[in-house]
Every structure is written in structure tokens, then in C-alpha cells.
A and B are shown apart, each in its own frame.
Chain A
Amino acid sequence: QQPVQSPQAVILREGEDAVINCSSSKALYSVHWYRQKHGEAPVFLMILLKGGEQKGHEKISASFNEKKQQSSLYLTASQLSYSGTYFCGTEMVNAGNMLTFGGGTRLMVKP
């Protein structure tokens, strides 16, 4: 039931791009993306709903392929502040708001 994230870790130089992927074996109602800094609570980045609606920060982009039950988070022109661990969370169709998370992707942006 938990989604699978890839890659597990990414190292970038400032200004480089990255893509983080999230996949599920079950039909999804929604995909959530959060970033967590060490010792802090996760911060909301983006939510994508079945049917195409989405809400998120203007500098963040993501996609949701409903046929493949896959989502990707696109980080472009990375900044040092993008460093942290990125989590995708998913709610399955007909699972009554049960929201589970993947294992996370550690992103480090270097100067």
C-alpha cells in the first residue's frame, strides 16, 4: 500500500535540475509531495488529485499519470534551500482518506 520513491538520494550543484518519482501498485485518488528539513516537520509542496486538479507552490511542478499510478516532482534550477528529504504520500481510491508515505528521497544541493 505504501508508494515507492526513486531515487533514494540525489546530489546536485546549484542550478541543476532533478526529478523525483513516486509509484503505486494501487489506483490512486491523490498524490501529495512534502519536503522535510532535518529535525523539522514536513512542509507541503504539492497535491495532485485524480481528474487533474492540483494545488501547490508556484515554483514547484509535478505530474500525475493516472493510468500508470505514477507521479513525478520536478525541481528546476535548484537552490541550496531545496536540500532536504522529499516524501510522496498517496491516498488510494476507496481507501477512506488513508494517507501513506514513501521512504523518501534525500536531496543535497551543493554550491
Chain B
Amino acid sequence: DGGITQSPKYLFRKEGQNVTLSCEQNLNHDAMYWYRQDPGQGLRLIYYSQIVNDFQKGDIAEGYSVSREKKESFPLTVTSAQKNPTAFYLCASKPLGTGAYGELFFGEGSRLTVL
């Protein structure tokens, strides 16, 4: 079955450490997204990518970095520069192009806690 896989599901990090969240999709989607969600809040866009080797900053990119070396993979690194990284992180993808409506498909999320 096609879908989006995020790992790990739960992650604990000490202050000052970088951590990388994995996102893999086998839907052959061109666009991929990373969102952050704090308790009781909406989804805030961190980064998105429309094509391999290209990505754009969202509304809250500071303290985060991404790469898009393969179409199916879009890992997110939470760096030590991110002051308050404890949150629920959601990866999503969507098809682009003629005939595509472009609805988002979400992964199950990764919950990061900084100790």
C-alpha cells in the first residue's frame, strides 16, 4: 500500500543536540511538506519542496533544515538553534500537475520532546 512513513514516532532529545526526523513516501508525489503542531494549535509550515534538490522556507523555518536528494525522501533536521523544539511534527506530500487535485497525504507524525 502506498503512503507516507515518518520515523521515529517518539523522540527524546537533550538540549543542544540536533535530531533528524525521517519522512519517506511511495506515492510518487512531487511536493513534500513539513509542519509543526503545538498542543491545541494549528499546523505551521516549516519547509516545503516541489522538486528534487529544491526547497523553500515556510513561516517558521528558523532552527530547521531539510534536504531533498531523492523524490521519495524529505528529512527534517531540528537543530540546536531551534529554541523550543518540543512539538508534534507532520510530514505530508501531494501530487502536482495536470489532472491532480493536490490534496495532502499526511504521515502519522513524529512527537519530539526536549528534556
A residues touching B (Cβ–Cβ < 8 Å)?
A: 1-2, 30, 32, 34, 40-44, 47, 49, 53, 55, 87, 89, 91, 96-104
> Is B85 part of the contact surface with A, judged by Cβ < 8 Å?
no
A103 touches B41 (CB 8 A): yes
B43 touches A87 (CB 8 A): yes
CA distance A49 to B96 in the complex (A): 13
Q: How many Å from the CB of B39 to the closest CB on chain A?
A: 10
Specify the chain A residue showing the minimal Cβ separation from B105: A44
25 A–B contacts from the bound complex (CB under 8 Å): A1-B59, A2-B42, A32-B104, A34-B104, A40-B109, A41-B90, A43-B106, A44-B103, A44-B104, A47-B101, A47-B102, A49-B102, A89-B104, A91-B102, A96-B50, A97-B96, A98-B45, A98-B58, A99-B48, A100-B44, A100-B58, A101-B43, A101-B44, A102-B42, A104-B42
Report B-chain residues with C-beta under 8 Å of the C-beta of A96.
50, 56
